[in-house]
Amino acid sequence: MSEALKSTGADWSLSDPGLIRTQAYVNGEWADAADGATFPVYNPATREVIAEVASVGAAETRRAIEAAEAAQKEWASKTAMERSAILRNWNDLLLENLEDLAIIMTVEQGKVLAESRGEVAYAASFVEWFAEEGKRVYGDVLPLPQPGRRGIVIKQPVGVCAAITPWNFPAAMLTRKAAPALAVGCAMVAKPPHETPLSMLAQAELADRAGLPAGLLNVLPAEHSRPVGDELCSNPIVRKLTFTGSTAVGKLLTKQCAGTLKRLSMELGGNAPVIVFEDADLELAAKGAAASKYRNSGQTCICANRILVQDTVYDEFIEELKKVVGTYKIGNGLDESVTHGPVITRKALEDIRDLVDDAVEHGATVAAGGEFGEGDSQFIEPTILCDVTPKMRIFNEEIFGPVAPVFRFSTEKEAIEMANDTEYGLASYIFTGDQNRSWRVAEGIEYGMVGVNETLFTSQFIPFGGMKESGQGREGSRYGIDEYVETKFICFGDIGTS
């Protein structure tokens, strides 16, 4: 086994140890689980237990929901300016504590410090954005056909919202949901993933320091999701659920929410294609595909899952991609020289290896990498697979790891058909030097987001979301705030004339 694939420890400490919180945060107070239950949080690079965190259940969830309902009414009565001031305080504290938050994230999630720092800044950007956007929730005056009547449209907060977030972006997935909710006057009850609860708990600590009133943000860590999730979905006080995660779980949550007809935002699985045409800048395409594919060790929902390359430049593109991958170094993310950390669990590693083994068994070849850590190691060498075909499992299944399968296509029509041959439709990427083609293909592929000669386009400015079974609703941008408001029509009659 390569030395790089062995788990290696690294010392870590925080400037502010008070950011390490291991209890639930309910109604502005830190509390243990009612039955005293806890669960361990592991460092995926070392497999060391870094914390024991309270594991709450349905009773604590109900208490958090009731606290959110009580706090939300007064919060909604405040002006947008008042709410904005507190959100701006939260944004400032997130940025002031960026390094500590990045260390916490790297230790519990595994991504390298550079990526963790970037994510903390990304998380803060949503708080800043929606602190401003909350001031711009405008209504309308409608022309009505009857004399003596006037019609207006106003927007009001949905009420108590619930969020269930994933482990791969433990900071940004909270703020992308909580910031717009809080900005318009809603309250939030959030369940972090059991793999990475410490980042969200630290954010709650900073929200408390920022002056966010008790009850408006509640964080419920739990080893087992079902008791908390069932209560969030069934409780009629919760008027909206927002979820980021797998399509299978998203469908289950949608069914569970049907009984109370909750508003839903679902950001689900992806199977992102990168389409490289023969007229593309191949060096740019290889760098872009690699940046998308191997970011967070391949553990993002918008990762390049299938790289489709026109057959006339296939071999040349593979060589360019190998050059990029050859510069990578894997290891503990706390080491500043490391470019890629481990995958989140040993089971994740085994699932990724199964996909690679299936592809190789059916004729694919390993052009780079291909080595998997042994024993308890969760490291995978960044891997390139050549001669991959749509008949292999890896064409249809989300990889969620640092493995790049490269497929061939001949014509533009074939590329579009291959890209659309999936139930998913989240992100997609095109590399071409032909402007007309970029328009044709961007409009022809069935994805909520398309990057043309670019793969790193996410920010607080864009409407993030997908089509088909990749979900519904949008997060971020001016469109994202509409997910947390109700549109109300008011008719004034008998106005008469003066």
Task: Establish how many alpha carbons lie within 13 A of residue 96's alpha carbon, considering only the half-sphere containing its beta carbon.
Answer: 12
Secondary structure (DSSP) of 294-306:
HGGGG-STTSEEE
Q: Give the closest residue to 178 by CA, choosing from 463, 451, 475.
A: 475
Secondary structure (DSSP) of 446-497:
--SEEEES-S---STTS-B--SGGGEES-BSHHHHGGGGEEEEEEEE-----
Q: Give the closest residue to 189 by CA, choosing from 104, 66, 36.
A: 66
Phi, psi of 439, deg, nearest 5 = -65, -45
Q: Are 190 and 174 in contact (CB under 8 A)?
A: yes
Direct distance between the N- and C-terminal alpha carbons of the chain, in angstroms, rounded to an integer: 89
Across 128-159, b (16+ Cβ under 10 Å) vs e yields: bbbbebbeebeeeeeeeeeeeeebeeebebbb
* Residue 267 annotated among the catalytic residues of the structure: yes
**What count of other Cβ atoms lies within 10 Å of the Cβ of residue 259?**
10
Q: Give the closest residue to 112 by CA, choosing from 314, 297, 245.
A: 297
Give the DSSP letter of residue 384: E
Tokens of 13: 């400490």
Q: Are 107 and 12 in contact (CB under 8 A)?
A: yes
Question: How far, in Å, CA of 399 to CA of 198, rounded?
Answer: 26
Secondary structure (DSSP) of 37-55:
-EEEEE-TTT--EEEEEE-
Catalytic residue among 115, 267, 381, 469: 267
Report helix, strand or coil for 236. Answer: coil
Centroid of chain to Cα 257 = 21
Q: Given CA atoms 193, 195, 199, 202 in this order, what sign does their dihedral have?
A: positive
Across 386-412, b (16+ Cβ under 10 Å) vs e yields: bbbeeebebbebbbbbbbbbbbbbeeb
Catalytic residue among 186, 301, 303, 386: 301
Q: Which residues are catalytic?
A: 267, 301
